[in-house]
Amino acid sequence: YDMFVLAFVERLFRPTYRKDDFVLGKKLGEGAFGVVYKVSLAKKPASKESDLVLKKATEYGAVEIWMNERVRRACSNSCADFVYGFLESSSKKKGEYWLIWRFEGEATLADLMLSKEFPYNVETIILGKIQDMPKGLGRENRIIQTIMRQLLFALDGLHSTGIVHRDIKPQNIIFSEGDRTFKIIDLGAAADLRVGINYIPKEFLLDPRYAAPEQYIMSTQTPSAPSAPVATALSPVLWQMNLPDRFDIYSTGLIFLQMAFPSLRTDSSLIQFNRQLKRCGYDLVAWRKTVEPRASPELRRGLELLDLDGGIGWELLTSMVRYKARQRTSAKAALAHPYFDREGLLTLSFMQ
Ligand code: ADP
Ligand code: MG
């Protein structure tokens, strides 16, 4: 009851918007279920703070608004700042939902990983300066470690709230310039298991590049075509039994892998890697055995990075990318992994 009162009061004092309040800027993305634009407020003078993001979504936008409302109350640091969501009914199309976020920054992790400078380009934006430590594996490992910690922290927030994202990939991780940290975006495929909101439209395919091998992340069937969120009363007990959060952990493990191996950053090489891994029964250790003898210098360098400090990076990676969901680590357990014992960029910046 208190939660509802709080949510109501909170909404009352938040600004509400309508269609005419926004001036469309450049298009940022276009998916099967909506188009995303950078926008500014018509009434306010343009400034960095007033930059917003607008997603014009189809009927599934209702679920995405619901997820974003929940995130802003329960784990607001995990995701991009959600401002407002509403049904835009003045257009001809019926049921177009508009979702508004703060514009967090120009670059997703995918953009940053495309650069030849990666991971040094991330070091610069996180710290606002360049380390005075020689370039090399150790320094790159520190940066990757910092990114992984931020990612797992955001994911742990979502999972502790009872939300599984189901579309974790570098394109859905934005670097927040204001908060100097990575945040998760795009809750369009997310499921809230505590309340039982679990809906993926039939046409939606989990991104095969980052999807874990299990096809269904819960034992219950997804309803076929509801127009609103459907409650299927899933209890925390079911959450424990099915461990649906481990789906996101697998995807995060693949991102870790791509950060360590530049040669796996393109779509085609990731798809090829997935095929190899499948042939090895999703066993990374077996995969390593098959590729290591004839590994390229680049691949060898990635393995060397993961082997630093007694191989704790490799250990963490293999605890995330496993065939069986229940054998994968959780976000919370991963954060406590010895890989993160050395405090990465934070310690480094204090030491100087
Ligand atoms: P979809 O993948 O369904 O098209 P997303 O929510 O992933 O929609 O947004 C598409 C793109 O828009 C993202 O990849 C990112 O580049 C940009 N974007 C989304 N939200 C934000 C935000 N809050 N701040 C800055 N850019 C954003
Ligand atoms: Mg997206």
Q: What is the pLDDT of residues 256-280, one digit of tens each?
A: 999 999 999 999 999 999 999 999 9
Contact 21, 42 (CB under 8 A): yes
93 pLDDT band (50/70/90 cuts)? low
**DSSP string across 188-211:** TT-EETTTTEE---TT----TTT-
Burial class (CB in 10 A: 0-12, 13-18, 19+), 201: middle
- Whether the pLDDT of residue 153 is over 50: the answer is yes
- Ligand 1 atom 12: residue of nearest CA: 28
Identify the CA nearest to 259 among candidates 177, 213, 317. 317
Number of the ligand closest to the Cα of 108 = 1
Q: What is the pLDDT of residues 22-40, one digit of tens each?
A: 999 999 999 878 999 999 9
pTM of the model: 0.89
Q: How far is CA 217 from the centre of its chain?
A: 17
- Whether the pLDDT of residue 184 is over 90: the answer is yes
Q: Is the peptide bond before 119 cis (omega within 30 degrees of 0)?
A: yes
Pocket test for ligand 1, best of 27, 28, 200 (most atoms within 8 A of CB): 28
Establish whether this prediction's ipTM goes over 0.85.
yes
Task: Report, as an integer, the average pLDDT of 231-244.
Answer: 61
Number of the ligand closest to the Cα of 106 = 1
Task: Report, as an integer, the average pLDDT of 179-183.
Answer: 97
Q: What is the pLDDT of residues 297-322, one digit of tens each?
A: 999 999 999 999 999 999 999 999 99
Q: What is the predicted pLDDT for the residue at 221?
A: 44
Q: What is the predicted pLDDT for the residue at 345?
A: 66
Residues designated catalytic: 167
Pocket of ligand 1 (CB under 6 A): 28-31, 34, 36, 53, 55, 80, 101-105, 108, 171-172, 174, 185-186, 188
